[in-house]
Amino acid sequence: MQPISLGVIGGMGPKATSVFYDKVIDQTEAHKDQDHINMVILNHATMPDRTEAILTNQSERFLQSIEQDFKLLEHAGVANIAIPCNTSHFYYKQLQAMTNIPIINMVEETIRYIHDRCGAQTRVGILATNGTMKTGIYKAACEKYRIELYEPHEALQDEVMKLIYEDVKSELATDPRKLENMVQHLITQENCQSVILACTELSCIPIRGEFKKYTIDAMNVLVEQSILRSGKSLRYQSVTEQMVSSSGQA
């Protein structure tokens, strides 16, 4: 049996996990089944809500719940682990301490991506859960790379949470214009050069190219790293750049 290159701890939420898997398949340079990545996906849908765990200081429930997932992936012999959930990366150090298998740090890789392509001193906005915002994980990463992070005002943040929890997680019909309007506000009113989509639920919303070209989707960065660390090539030079160009916006 060929080694398993990637283990995925998903279910946070299930729709975001399915989108992550589709993106990995679509962006891997492959011409037959055997060219794709061997992976194990754990759709741990009953995982305690990450934002709630952070805001109510019940982190132990989340950590205990995910610990068994690492044991399963270790038994499967995966080479790397991807966790398509931004908020959970608040616990990155504790999670990595649970296993010897390298966990791809989606937050770190996303900010490094921005720095490498835009340089320091750039101003970026962020759309994320209250849990992610409270932890300051993106702010800390931006400070490390000398990137200015703009965090949405309270009213906009409330709208972000409604979009994530009341639309996407509730599997309601989501109007992409809601997300597009948020991106437009950050670009035109808050003078951001780009906007980080720092919640994998937002990755499920198909926005138009004229807005997509301003976004850096953390899930796309995780997809790219998952493919490269699995020893495969990208179908396109960059997942994020491809997602922009494929929409007709170069």
C-alpha span between 56 and 169 (Å, rounded): 20
- Alpha-carbon distances of 232 from 36, 38, 39, 80, 237, rounded to whole Å: 8, 11, 13, 13, 12
How does DSSP classify residue 28? B
Give the CB-side neighbour count of residue 110, counting CA atoms within 13 A: 31
- Which positions are catalytic? 85, 199
Position of tokens 């915002």?
133
CA distance 161 to 100: 34
Cα separation values, 159 from 7, 52, 164, 178, Å: 33, 17, 9, 9
Cis peptide before 125 (omega within 30 of 0): no
Count CB neighbours of 115 within 10 A: 17
- Tell me which residue of 156, 180, 176 sits closest to 167, measured CA to CA: 176
**Which residues partner with 10 through β-bridges?**
43
Query: CB 190: neighbour CB atoms within 10 A?
Result: 15
